[in-house]
Chains A and B, each alone.
Chain A
Amino acid sequence: MALARRWGTVGLRVHQLLEFIWHSDWKYIPYVWAAPLENLVQRAAPTAQPILSSWWAYNYFFATISPAVVELEEWLGIGPPLCPLLPVLGTPYAEKGNALLHSILAHEVGHLALDQHPVQLPAPELTSDALGSLSGEPLTAPQAPPGSLFEHTLRESLTGEFSRAFRAWAQEIVADLFALQMLGPAYFFAFSFLGVSADMLSEPDRSQPPLGVRCRALLRAVEAWGHLGALPQPLQQVVLQWKTFGWEAPQLARVHQLVQDSLEQHLDALIEAVNGAAESLGLAYSSEAYRRDVEALRNRILDGVPPDTIGTVPYHAVSLAAILNAAWEVRLAYLPELQRLVAGDKFDPEDANQRSQALGVLNRLTTKAIEYHAIATQWEKARARTEG
């Protein structure tokens, strides 16, 4: 019976895996991202074989397939496990061509990094005062039975919910911070871009911390890790504007309000912990690298050329982070210049159609640069192997 149950679980997972593989055809995914993502993923988990998949739902996601299979292998006494780690990184199909927004994928790699290299998360407990403030009202309600059983159950469930939510929310923030380490400000811009849409268009997701908290954590880290000073003036203004952005305050249960307050108190500890972990994994993209590369890459985009390299001879592709940051700079502060190049004599800064064309060119140039990054990286590896 137990074996059948396990086979059932494995069967379900294999079915999911096949679906993910089916949707990982190049026609469905932003395929030029596959190699750079594999590189990032394998720094977090060297033996992982990532699958980039796409889904009809409008969501970026992270899932792992292998635990159920590994569990079965252990149960059957097969060791060491044969199944490699198969992390699935999911993208919304609707955004296949949106190269800039795919910076969000770094958040999903952040979950993998956290899975493989647990960061010491703070584990605050609900104080009895806070618990009292939460449990007072229902316990004094007339229908509440007197005595301790109900109170005990309620206290237990509130404490449990506080710990569970704190951990889940902290993990999301840690994944955000890992992503910021990997991609620098590009991740912050993609997050805020997607976050505003989510804030305005959908119901808040209780499994995740409120967007305002995530944004504040990222803003603190952008400053703490020296990225703010590396940005050109117009981009600094963009970042500073986010400090005063009025995220819609979600309707939280009181226990979740306490979780949020507690998280805010622990943000600095999380930022410090992720900084150390990302450095040791070789995932960090420094503000010095940003200062060195991004302006020249931005100028290439404004010349109508992919932002793939800053050197001359020999050819060296720049990092994925540098490409994305240059693209976000143009997107947020220099788009009219690109629009002028694309529109030529007919340039009209108010023309939405021209702006849309310029955005299309920006996405294509960015995608091309990512493809060149992947090709050049593979090329260098093949050359090194050939030359022994």
Chain B
Amino acid sequence: MPVLRGKEVKERLFQAQGPRRLYVTPLLEPEQQIDDAAGAVDVRLGTTFIVGRRSGITAIDPLGLAEAGIPEQPRELSFERNYESVYVPVGQPFVLHPKQYVLGATLEYVRIPADLTGQVIGRSSWGRLGLIIATATIVHPGFTGVITLELTNVEEVPLVICPGVRIGQLLFETMGDQPAEVQPPSGRYAFSTEPTISRLLRDPELRFLRRLSRRE
């Protein structure tokens, strides 16, 4: 699968219409953000973070398997209670402590056409300071929304980051020869405008796994 070059990325962003169009918005400094040679688009850190509330939980147990009295139905709301959303305006600091793990998102909202796939990677300048921004790096064809980033500081001292800073890069690859078709954005994270916590509870096999857990 060939990686799109800068010229092709620009054509997709600024000239293409209909199903071929790639949206990455807002590109506040397009000349700075689009790397012609690498075909990469720099993405910025968004303004909302999701931080875990550690004090009230014994373990992150998204499947609810370790709890007594395992419920039949998923309990997304009760799972969400373990997290807190924090808004930080552009230019203001957010301190990421050593080994701390929070969810952030790209400032940019993207829509990937059906014939492309995206890959989000950290900027090495931040990586050298101990920041990891993503583990699930593939952005699927048709994805629409801000891209949730899994931020971790692997350094031993706190790291100050701030919304608006260029934090990662998006690369695009074509999906082979298949023509672009209009496909509705789908999936559990579609149209997200803020970082989104894990929707693991919506996995269809969970009910089966629960039954196994109860030895039914």
Contact = CB atoms under 8 A, between A and B. Distances in A.
A149 to B, nearest CB: 64
Interface string B180-216: 0000111000111100000000000000000000000
Interface residues of B, number: 25
Given A317-B26, A376-B26, A365 B193 contact: yes
Contacts of B37: none
Contacts of A230: none
Contacts of B94: none
B129 interface: no
B193 A364 contact: yes
A110 B193 CA distance: 31
Interface centre among B25, B190, B192 (most CB of A within 10 A): B25
B6 interface: no
A375 interface: yes
B30 A315 contact: yes
B151 to A, nearest CB: 20
B87 A368 contact: no
A16 interface: no
A312 B185 CA distance: 23
- Among all A-B residue pairs, the 9 with the closest Cβ atoms: A344-B184, A312-B14, A368-B193, A364-B193, A304-B144, A26-B87, A361-B191, A372-B26, A305-B23
A315 B90 contact: no
Interface in B142-179: 144, 164
Nearest to B109: A306
A379 interface: yes
A364 to B, nearest CB: 5
A371 B28 contact: no
B47 interface: yes
Nearest to A311: B14
Interface string B18-49: 00010101111010000000000000000100
Contact of B191 (A304, A309, A376): A304
Given A315-B30, A317-B26, A378 B90 contact: yes
Interface string A313-328: 1110100000000000
A304 B193 CA distance: 11
10 contacts: A304-B111, A304-B144, A304-B185, A305-B23, A305-B109, A306-B109, A342-B184, A342-B190, A342-B191, A345-B184
A81 B115 CA distance: 63
A367 B193 contact: yes
Contact of A309 (B21, B26, B47, B107): B26
A341 interface: yes
A24 B193 CA distance: 22
Interface residues of A, number: 31
A314 B144 contact: no
B150 to A, nearest CB: 21
A361 B25 CA distance: 17
A342 B191 CA distance: 9
A248 interface: no
Contact of A313 (B30, B144, B191): B30
Nearest to A26: B87
B26 A364 contact: no
Contact of A375 (B26, B109, B191): B26
Interface in A120-141: none
Contacts of B21: 303
A309 B27 CA distance: 10
A62 interface: no
Interface centre among B30, B107, B193 (most CB of A within 10 A): B193
A376 B186 CA distance: 29
A344 B184 CA distance: 5
Contacts of A343: 184
Contacts of A345: 184
Interface in A361-388: 361, 364-365, 367-368, 371-372, 375-376, 378-379, 382
